[in-house]
Amino acid sequence: ENLKRYIELIPKAELHVHIEGTFEPELIFEIAQRNNVPLKYNSVEELRKAYNFNNLQDFLDIYYGAASVLLYEQDFYDLTASYLRKAHADNVVHTEIFFDPQTHTTRGVSFATVINGITRAMGDAKTEWGISTKLIMCFLRHLSEKSAEETLESALLHKEKIIAVGLDSSENGHPPGKFFHVFNRVREEGFFVVAHAGEEGPAEYVWEAIDLLEAERIDHGVSSVDDPDLMEELREREIPLTVCPLSNLKLRVVEDLKNVPVRSFLEKGILVTLNSDDPSYFGGYINDNYLQTAEALQLSRNDIYTLAKNSFLASFITEKERNFFL
Ligand code: HPA
Ligand code: ZN
């Protein structure tokens, strides 16, 4: 109970949250209705019942389905505003939000519609609550490198709104090396690089992400624990991991929260952080991730402090912003 208060009150940065994964069933229905888009489900309850996943792909199918009701700039604004309100309530003072432009542009929604809605909500949240935000664009790895290149081209018109570029969606069969050329361009354009790797995929994919894409932060990365040389490399190069415990549990990456290797990463001296990934689908926002992980792994206050501090150290805030937060 005491630890719960501590978790709630400590300022945190969130570094791994997909805006499309914060889409709550109530808002899905509201927006579907006002846009006249039919849904496969008849009620919020029926939709929630479908949130029973055996693996990453099961989840992605439902996640992309729900995202298809988003059509107008106001929809992206409402989605983002709703997440930021919850993040603020959890005492998240800085958040680096992923968005998947291809999920929308492949349906005929323009890149500008998506990014302008998201960034307008980010601006309003800053004004209203002082919450600091950055935006990370992700390429869908199940699509081609050419599609990623076209997406990068669209992003260049909005360069100042995007801090970093990442890689998400179906991992197995789509190793980071598939996107070698486009990430060379991403780095030339001055974006930071992150990549989902080692979620369902092997430690080898984490090696590819850091060596071929030169990712400066790894999303998930839990399979790194299988490779002692990789663990040493992550520590030595100070490459952070954005671990998402409830996500790993719900997608059956682990069978119990006890098996999320947060302790191994902490003990090794790796910059590990806790995050919510797709909180609307995985049963909890960031404080739920901290609390349930703390309980399962019997983390101390000191461990919680380290995880929260790591979240700022691992973020893309500038030196000046860092002095403000720490
Ligand atoms: N993994 C890969 N792609 C995703 C995820 C994830 O956890 N969430 C949203 N897109
Ligand atoms: Zn993710």
Q: What DSSP string describes 56-107?
A: HHHHHHHHHHHHTT--SHHHHHHHHHHHHHHHHHTTEEEEEEEE-HHHHHTT
Q: Where are the beta strands (DSSP E) in 161-290?
A: 164-168, 192-197, 217-220, 241-243, 272-274
- What is the model's pTM? 0.98
Closest residue by Cα to atom 2, ligand 1, is 169
Active site annotation includes 199: yes
219 Cα–ligand 1 center, Å: 9
Ion ligand 2, residues whose Cβ is below 5 A away: 277
114 Cα–ligand 1 center, Å: 19
Q: Which residues contact 301 (CB under 8 A, 6 or more apart)?
A: 3, 6
Ligand 1, pocket residues at CB < 6 Å: 18, 21, 56, 168-169, 196, 199, 247, 277-278
The CB density around residue 35, as the number of other CB atoms within 10 Å, is: 13
169 Cα–ligand 1 center, Å: 5
- The minimum-distance atom of ligand 1 relative to the CA of 200 is 1
Q: How far apart are CA 242 and CA 95, in angstroms?
A: 12
State residue 29 phi and psi, 5-degree precision: -65, -40
Q: How far apart are CA 207 and CA 196, in angstroms?
A: 12
- The minimum-distance atom of ligand 1 relative to the CA of 168 is 3
pLDDT (0 to 100) of residue 153:
98
Distances (CA, A) of 145 to 79, 142, 176, 183: 28, 9, 10, 10
CATH fold of 2-316, please? TIM Barrel (3.20.20)
Q: What is the number of H-type helices and E-type strands within the chain?
A: 17, 8
Which listed ligand is nearest to 201 at the C-alpha? 1
pLDDT (0 to 100) of residue 324:
85
Q: Which residues contact 192 (CB under 8 A, 6 or more apart)?
A: 163, 164, 165, 216, 217, 316
In Å, the largest CA–CA distance within the chain is: 53
Asked if residues 40 and 122 have their Cβ atoms less than 8 Å apart, the reply is: no
Which listed ligand is nearest to 169 at the C-alpha? 1
Which listed ligand is nearest to 167 at the C-alpha? 1
Residue indicated by tokens 């002095």: 323
Closest residue by Cα to atom 7, ligand 1, is 277
Catalytic residue among 199, 200, 208, 216: 199
Ligand 1 test: best mutation among 64, 136, 196, most atoms within 8 Å of CB? 196
Asked if residues 303 and 290 have their Cβ atoms less than 8 Å apart, the reply is: no
Ligand 1 test: best mutation among 62, 199, 276, most atoms within 8 Å of CB? 199
What sign for the dihedral angle of Cα 41, 141, 220, 200? positive
What tokens does 287 get?
Answer: 């404080």
pLDDT (0 to 100) of residue 156:
98
Asked if residues 120 and 42 have their Cβ atoms less than 8 Å apart, the reply is: no
Q: How far apart are the first and last CA of the chain?
A: 26
Residues lower than pLDDT 70 in the chain = none
